[in-house]
A and B are shown apart, each in its own frame.
Chain A
């Protein structure tokens, strides 16, 4: 039984291409361009889905992307909307939320229990006894729900792109096309979007049989397509509005992030259902849904039709049914025929009976519409003494419209109720937002086109910086197109307000009786408007119910803002392409060849250690040992490196760092500690003096950019004559450390490394392997060592030369992990690991780095002057008993005194040099001064004894980093 009509003039289907798909294992035929709903209707299937809560049979409602009771599950996607999802060859579907089959849903009995499930019962039932809640939860989740996510998904990311325009026009109907054209003709660069696959809007379904509209349709479409100033995006939904006119456009291939200078919203209206008993039966649908079925898909929506109307559009729809060969049983007009126009007269001329001042009291049928009961209707009351019953299989509802103004709300616009049109219409618009068309109450084609031109003119003027004020109501119709109260009470209920959530009129009334008498409370308690269609067909009626039962105006009842996105957006579209910058040093490939295991250090990748993963521990120990006994080499290119130059360079560094840099001798370096205004440690590094007015500064890997920023800000604030150059990325840096470092390095450089001329903390410039380098004699890891700062392009050559030269003494590259152990043995802290967002230098045991008396000023000085005598905790060294398992104590484990937390471990490692586990810990005072041992609480709750010990653990006199191997030995 096919209900496919002869070809329609503007149909979206391509009859030359047939498609086969399956639903519940049954095969269906369709044409290319069919949506799932139209294809099923073509085959005679009217029951398309089951409702969320009561598993009631549901069919077509809007055919406008709000039909969330006809949801389908494909192999890859849940919750496909039948009214907009195009069928493809081989598509395999099953219904959502059905036990058994669509026709025989084993859960359909739930509807009979509806009176035991009043509104809000989820909040009240099932909570006692508490132990049974999981049982109920499982049951409810199985009985009520939507599609299932395929957890065996394949990664799908749709690229996002940025697009810019002068003007975005939302909606490709008559108003949108005219607005886009007028704006483009004025020279604007316009993007025009429409969620449908074709432009045309209501011209192509509601006015398809209007000869007067045909000329406008052709003129607008061809002019829009030919205008080079208009970029048309169909199948594209502007799904949210963000500050500065930033709108995500959801396209079939991903999200476009549009930045527009202004927006004209011509998104039209959403038809609203009438509320009466069984208004959800398959066969009951919005009038515009039937018109879409006929004109887009050539589907005859029924055989015998009744049209319920409260406006002219209902008569237009009735005429369209008649043209499509549907028998018209009657038109039921909730108002008077005398206030209707030309379409009504045509219909009367055809001899179709019109019941004036009447309403549908109920629709009847088991799983589809069989008859309607109508009754006289006066001032919101049915006269049940004079009901009539009409047999039919199709009932159209044409009782009102609501502006698709979600984005206007999001942008901060306001809508207020216009009694003349019985509709909420824009009353205040924020800067750069303009509206036109039916969304703005312009209903006739002439009104719409005039309104669109006016809106375009307004947008053009605003963008030109010469805003004009326009009367938003100038082009609005003077006739209502919506009924103020299209809601019919029924003692047995099932008169649905919200089809998503199965909310009946009485559910809202009960919610108000329970005190949820404000739109925001009503919404949350009853869940009206909170289903997948996000209130598109429910909110207006809910507001009418609230206003009437509370005895307030529609404006006073208020409305809710549909948050972005006001329509579901696939996660794949949101995910987009992954931008995860990864920064590699010049020596990255070198490390790979040496078998490095990498770790992330901010955006950098750094070698954690060298060797197979299963030999992690022994590799790290061997690396530590190589540095202590022979020679180690580490890539420290990630350090921040800044050139500081100019007459005020010393002054800048004096202000930026705690220690005095102006007294630094040329060719020497000094430890540099940076604190913020509150005295908290933020960075450390070294400052070296190249000449009187030039310094070289290093910063920690993670703070390099922030330190550069801080220095440059100080220059601006104080108007200092200093120049900075950030050379972090342009220079590589290598630390060569170990007793043999001097001998090996000397063989490759012209710089004299003799201790007498190049002392500890010295800095020299010269050549190494033919490259210009800067050498700094450092002691971070506690051995004789040199930091080599060299051009990025020289790094590989120099590294290889050093490896070659050091091979005879057993040189070994070492990674971040070995470096952490080496510095821990020396008691050197790592900013950000051993310090936190509150640690000051006194707590870190670095009072020596805070010359309060000798410096007039540095950033944070007043705070440190106050904190000096108020120290509450201090970093201490801990040593665990020999034989304690290596991984038992971890960083961040707490130090306990009885039941009180008195500190935490900040760094811990097994020290190969000492043969025991050592740690740094932040410990409360006075314990840090007085205790000899403390208890560390480890993962399993056990407490481990640790001995307080003086720092550093290794080579306390620092002899090894200052002198020759020969001298140490």
Chain B
């Protein structure tokens, strides 16, 4: 029996900011500034990812202090949380990425079930993956995940132990 949970974080908000002033927009809102490209930092529940030279994405539950900047735009990504010991088995059916490489706190941008997504492994919650996609794909992605989760646990492999 698998312990898998897949839920949509409906109350989360997101922003994308770019340009030379983006770091001050982050620090102004009390948010950390990740260093390397395609890396992320977490502050309380907020996730800040560096997606370009001076481009950042921020996602947090609503109520948090929003970054403000001239070139800061609200994003409307649909954010899902996949959790449970079998999360890897689910992702293995949906994504051609070697998740053995993914460490807590890692940020990845890759194709999941054929669409572009960002993934974040929360540093403080094992066996959990946050996954964001364009809001236009939320119905498709939710439907696909539900179907796969339904299958995982029903499929088994013959390990030849008997």
Contact = CB atoms under 8 A, between A and B. Distances in A.
A and B touch in the complex (CB under 8 A): yes
A194 B76 contact: no
B3 interface: no
A413 interface: no
Nearest to B98: A164
Interface centre among A160, A583, A646 (most CB of B within 10 A): A583
Contacts of A254: 155
B37 to A, nearest CB: 14
Contacts of A581: 113-115, 137, 140
Given A159-B151, A234-B159, A583-B136, A643 B93 contact: no
B98 A259 contact: yes
A143 interface: no
Contact of B158 (A225, A236, A727): A236
Nearest to B161: A225
A889 to B, nearest CB: 35
Interface in B115-162: 115, 134-137, 139-140, 144, 147-148, 151, 155-162
B74 interface: yes
A588 B138 CA distance: 12
B135 A161 contact: no
A586 B95 CA distance: 26
Nearest to B151: A159
A253 B151 CA distance: 11
Contact of B159 (A233, A580, A643): A233
A163 B114 CA distance: 17
B96 interface: yes
Contacts of A588: 139
A257 B93 CA distance: 10
Interface centre among B19, B92, B134, B136 (most CB of A within 10 A): B136
A730 B139 contact: no
Given A259-B98, A730-B75, A194 B160 contact: yes
A235 interface: yes
Nearest to A712: B52
Contact of B92 (A163, A172, A236): A163
Contacts of B97: 162
Contacts of A579: 113-114, 144
A725 B18 contact: yes
A583 B155 contact: no
A234 B158 CA distance: 5
Given A162-B95, A253-B155, A727-B73, A585 B136 contact: yes
Given A253-B155, A583-B140, A729-B135, A723 B160 contact: no
A262 to B, nearest CB: 15
A724 B17 CA distance: 10
Interface in A929-962: none
A904 B48 CA distance: 53
A93 B161 CA distance: 30
Contacts of A604: 136
Interface string A237-260: 000000000000001111001010
A723 B100 CA distance: 34
A616 B8 CA distance: 37
A583 B158 contact: no
A198 interface: yes
B72 to A, nearest CB: 9
Contacts of A232: 159-161
Interface centre among A259, A581, A727, A792 (most CB of B within 10 A): A581
B106 interface: no
A645 interface: yes
Given A581-B115, A723-B55, A233 B158 contact: yes
Nearest to A604: B136
Contacts of B148: 159, 577
B85 interface: no
A163 B148 CA distance: 16
A843 B63 CA distance: 55
Q: How large is the interface on B (under 10, 10 to 19, 20 to 34, 35 or more residues)?
A: 35 or more
Contacts of B160: 172, 194, 197-199, 232-235
A723 B19 contact: yes
Interface string A896-916: 000000000000000000000
Given A577-B147, A645-B19, A723-B71, A197 B158 contact: yes
B92 to A, nearest CB: 4
Contact of B156 (A253, A582, A791): A253
Interface residues of A, number: 49
Nearest to A637: B136
A792 B139 contact: no
Contacts of B73: 643, 725, 727, 730
A116 to B, nearest CB: 48
Contacts of B75: 730
A161 B92 contact: yes
Interface centre among B18, B19, B77, B159 (most CB of A within 10 A): B159
B89 interface: yes
B10 to A, nearest CB: 11
Contact of A793 (B16, B76, B139): B76
Interface string B91-117: 011011110100000000000011100
B49 to A, nearest CB: 15
Contacts of A197: 158, 160
A64 to B, nearest CB: 17
Nearest to B115: A581
Given A583-B137, A584-B139, A792-B76, A646 B19 contact: yes
A577 B93 CA distance: 9
Contacts of B16: 725
A533 to B, nearest CB: 23
B157 A162 contact: no
Interface in A132-179: 159-164, 172
B137 A233 contact: no
A563 B129 CA distance: 39
Contacts of A160: 93
A253 B155 CA distance: 7
A248 to B, nearest CB: 13
Interface centre among A164, A172, A728 (most CB of B within 10 A): A164
Contacts of A586: 135-136
Nearest to B72: A725
Interface string B52-74: 00110000000000000001011
A176 to B, nearest CB: 12
Contacts of B18: 645, 723-725
A631 to B, nearest CB: 27
A805 to B, nearest CB: 25
B141 to A, nearest CB: 8
Contacts of A198: 160, 162
Interface centre among A257, A582, A604, A724 (most CB of B within 10 A): A582
A729 B138 CA distance: 11
A225 B162 CA distance: 11
A834 to B, nearest CB: 27
Nearest to A586: B135
Contacts of A580: 114
A231 B89 CA distance: 14
Interface in A80-94: none
A251 B155 CA distance: 11
Nearest to B13: A793
Given A164-B98, A234-B159, A253-B157, A791 B93 contact: no
15 contacts: A159-B148, A159-B155, A162-B93, A197-B160, A199-B160, A232-B159, A233-B158, A234-B158, A252-B158, A577-B148, A582-B140, A643-B71, A727-B73, A730-B74, A730-B76
Q: When A and B form their complex, which 4 residue pairs have the shortest distance between CB atoms, in order from nearest?
A: A234-B160, A729-B134, A792-B76, A583-B136
Interface of A: 159-164, 172, 189, 194, 197-199, 225, 231-236, 251-254, 257, 259, 577, 579-586, 588, 604, 643, 645-646, 723-725, 727-730, 791-793
Given A233-B157, A234-B160, 14 more contacts: A159-B148, A162-B96, A231-B159, A233-B160, A235-B158, A235-B160, A253-B157, A257-B96, A583-B136, A588-B139, A723-B54, A729-B135, A730-B77, A792-B135
